[in-house]
Chains A and B, each alone.
Chain A
């Protein structure tokens, strides 16, 4: 077998060295009645060409890529410069373990240090960790962090937070003494209902967790939200599903937000059917010693040379065990490094270009959609790259299915998350689309009577 380098002759020599004649002797410690189960139901080995053919065959059963897609809702198609794929695939980056031996891991460590720096530049906050699993678990970790830091047990979640993120938060805290409450949405503008927010914030509230741009596509007024939270000494925690928005909107720190967490898949990671993606966490300095996950820090070596190490590990499970700030060990280091490569390759001007193109494309769609009689744009202002529409006749799911037949995936029906929302679709636009693609979407939408 090609992955197993020992020859039978060597196996025999090694057994002789060990002092056994049969390999089974090495497994004498295992209850014998249970040993060597039948493997008959397991398929036979495949050669490399057969393996390629097997995956081709499974790949042929997918037809997503034959469609023009405007799906978003937490996972976004963006252009990825070839250098990102080329460099990140190198075995030197792909095949090390966690950098426990920094002297031979400076490549990964410096790359993550650069990633951390760029994330703080994008959010304006003081510190970024080396990654979390994804946007949803990063949100759950932010809830735990806010509770730890404040000593309070009540956390408010915006009703227009991504439903899967809210579900993950609920799953994470289900056995912990943490109370979750939902803050309503103002249906008029799609933003958090500030009246309801102020009513629910109280002296025991650790944090208000809101998403911006939110699950309805609307950019929140983070300044007003942060001010309301701070008035009750609660933290303002912003969740970002579409990291590209960070390059277009005013930095969260400038709005007074304390923690920004979310999903950075948009930074150079393919859709990949949902993973691996990249959870990020950025925070004001005061959170540093309570943060979950790995942190890369700069230091000096014996000769005074600059170098990088994993640091502040006294927060972590291998030292603190059940008193650690989280249970995280393996995280998404390679994804973070790749996001760093993407951000470096896009650069200051390229990233700004992509970020504004996302918005302009969404605006172009929304403006043209206003002329269609089949649909209505729900919130024609203050969206970034996702536009919520309402289908005037029939259900959004049927409308979506009819467009699928024409090769167009018109976003995500909101009813998939909330069965009560029967006639709404959330569509995402990015720099992978051009005018022609959006015109095709509009035409397909308009054809249906």
Chain B
């Protein structure tokens, strides 16, 4: 096994230089008192350029990525990230200052306006804000919009309903928008039953947050009836669009009665996830909520794009500048490449791949919710001699990134598998075969799985130690 790279600080040697910057060619004059100026930065790295390259190349080799292989992380839609999009996003002519006068950045404003048009066409909603930085930020923005709308109507209400299968960001986002959370249990089919909803639908309910398809990969087939019941109660339907990939070109959430939804550009629209962001979480709304969208808004007047910074009903500003612009560039590039000929095929292949895996695996793994699957399938570790964690860790030894584990919380030892449409049949077959091997190992030699992984750069890491005695930075002379 290869030795792990040192930390950049451990490579540092006094006097080494990693960049070729010239000194100022103006006089070295300061107008700040010496008592306000620092003398140096203790222990800051001093490393040569070649050592920096080798350091990060060594780190790169320790990472698994979509570029390296299959990454069926459920609810994360780890599809292939087209390489041309990186080049387009890096183009010099797009790198303008965010306060550049609008006549100098008509191209950038057009990119955002065209992306908004695409999102409107795909969702059937009336308009989008592109400013939210990530999915959870979109949820929070959506909740602020709902609250402001109801406030304007004179009844802000107190409660947001969230099913027990929801992602943790849903309750957290609603909470920071000032709402109390009331949890609704999923029914035996794994979806929100209309009766369960009615039982919770009191006059203080502002909205229901529904992920659709939900985190079990199941379509919330009562959605239209749910929307009707909510609207009759003066409540709104928020849709978490994390799993929109399954619906592209198949059905438009706006046609199902959805009032507000966010979309993850870094999931559905193929922008790279960067090991934890930057993402981008545009929020779409039905027509009656358009005035409440955050600023800035891009408007076309004649053939010029303009930016509106003030809107009397707007919830205000949720982020600096325009949002994650270069993520938007990549998303638009992806959509333009797909075109109307392929958007539907994306959803169809994603759902086909998930159902193929389901069919191939359902004989050997417990399927707690047998309702039909869309883009992902969730198995449990019921009746297995090992835990889900052990199977996940053993997959690492076979060079495959595990599925999402232990989520949703309503499934015991959940294994949430989302292959996406960018995987070939060969890859899926290989995965099924590896799973078969692992399940055989689990029966014959479960200890092998409990010890896994053994092929990775490090073995299982002690997370309890990390949390009990947090070491969050390197310090000279200290070791763990």
Contacts and interface: CB of A to CB of B under 8 A. Distances in A.
Given A46-B336, A383-B31, 18 more contacts: A4-B346, A26-B355, A31-B224, A43-B340, A97-B78, A105-B62, A114-B8, A120-B473, A134-B320, A250-B36, A295-B472, A314-B467, A319-B168, A326-B176, A330-B266, A333-B275, A344-B47, A404-B104
Interface in A266-311: 270-277, 288, 294-303, 305-309, 311
Most buried by A among B36, B108, B247, B294: B36
Given A39-B249, A92-B63, A107-B59, A67 B111 contact: no
Interface stretch (B230-238, B283-291, B435-443, B456-464): B456-464
Contacts of B221: 29-31
B393 A103 contact: yes
B96 A65 contact: yes
Contacts of A332: 133, 274, 276-278
A352 B329 CA distance: 34
A350 B19 contact: yes
B93 to A, nearest CB: 4
Contact of A275 (B25, B255, B321): B321
Interface string A99-134: 111111111101101101110111000011011011
Give the bracket for the number of chain A residues in contact with chain B.
35 or more
Interface string A307-334: 1110111101111111110111111111
B369 interface: no
A121 B465 CA distance: 24
A416 B372 CA distance: 54
Nearest to A319: B168
A420 interface: no
A354 interface: yes
Contacts of A446: none
B21 interface: yes
Contact of B339 (A6, A43, A144, A356): A43
A106 B250 contact: no
B337 interface: yes
A188 interface: no
B372 A116 contact: no
A384 B31 CA distance: 8
B172 A326 contact: yes
A409 B105 CA distance: 13
Interface residues of B, number: 202
Interface in B235-254: 247, 249-252
Contact of A333 (B24, B277, B463): B277
Nearest to B97: A71
A335 interface: yes
B331 to A, nearest CB: 13
Interface in A225-247: 247
Nearest to B423: A5
A106 B58 CA distance: 10
Interface string B68-87: 10010100101111101010
A54 interface: yes
Contact of B133 (A28, A100, A134, A317): A134
B45 interface: yes
Given A42-B343, A272-B95, A366-B31, A361 B26 contact: yes
A219 B34 CA distance: 13
A58 B91 CA distance: 11
A108 B61 CA distance: 10
A275 B322 contact: yes
13 contacts: A2-B82, A3-B337, A45-B339, A59-B94, A107-B62, A110-B62, A113-B7, A168-B320, A273-B326, A298-B466, A318-B168, A330-B276, A332-B133
Contacts of B175: 322-324, 327
What 8 A-B pairs have minimum CB-CB distances, sorted nearest first? A175-B178, A45-B339, A334-B274, A274-B321, A333-B276, A274-B98, A91-B67, A276-B278
Contacts of A381: 31-32
Nearest to B316: A171
Contact of A64 (B62, B78, B97, B404): B97
Given A59-B91, A94-B272, A330-B277, A3 B422 contact: yes
Interface stretch (A151-159, A195-203, A388-396, A431-439): A431-439
A112 to B, nearest CB: 8
A309 B97 contact: no
B121 interface: yes
A4 B76 CA distance: 18
Contacts of A302: 451, 459-460, 462
Contact of B472 (A43, A297, A409): A297
Given A42-B118, A324-B168, A108 B472 contact: no
B320 A30 contact: no
A373 interface: no
Interface string A322-363: 111011111111110100110111111111111011011101
Contacts of B42: 121
B193 interface: no
Interface in A159-213: 164-165, 167-168, 170-172, 174-176
Interface string B408-447: 0000000000000111110000000000000000000000
Contacts of B171: 317, 321-322
Interface in A365-383: 366-367, 380-383
Contacts of A311: 463, 466-467, 470, 472
Interface in A1-37: 1-6, 10-11, 13-15, 17-19, 23, 26-31, 34-37
Contacts of A176: 176, 178
Given A42-B340, A347-B17, A299 B251 contact: no
Given A51-B337, A326-B172, A348 B27 contact: no
